[in-house]
Amino acid sequence: MNLQTIEFFHSDRGKGFDNHLIDKCLTAFGIKRSLSRKGCLYDNAIAESTFKAVKPEFMPNTIFDHWRNLNWNLITMWIGLIITGFIQY
């Protein structure tokens, strides 16, 4: 993946993402930082629920040779989770 095509990097306000090394990398590639609002519990709700589903079910020990393969696998996994009722809509 070409990091110069990424426009934004979003994270919560955790210490793991609040450091100078990440700031230097983002600046080097011209990526803008986006932080959750302070005290807003729902700011990351969609991302967190996605990660909760993806991490244990999909990502362990998986290496993709191209982002399109990752994208396709995420879409098909997500559709399967919706059909089986894992995600309530």
pLDDT tens-place string over residues 37-56? 666 666 666 667 766 766 66
* pTM score of the predicted model: 0.42
Q: pLDDT band for position 13 (50/70/90)?
A: low
pLDDT tens-place string over residues 45-89? 666 776 676 666 666 677 778 878 888 887 887 777 667 766 554
Say if residue 15's pLDDT is above 70: no
How confident is the model at residue 87, as a pLDDT? 55
- CA angle in degrees (0–180, nearest 5) for 12-18-22: 110
Contact 74, 55 (CB under 8 A): no
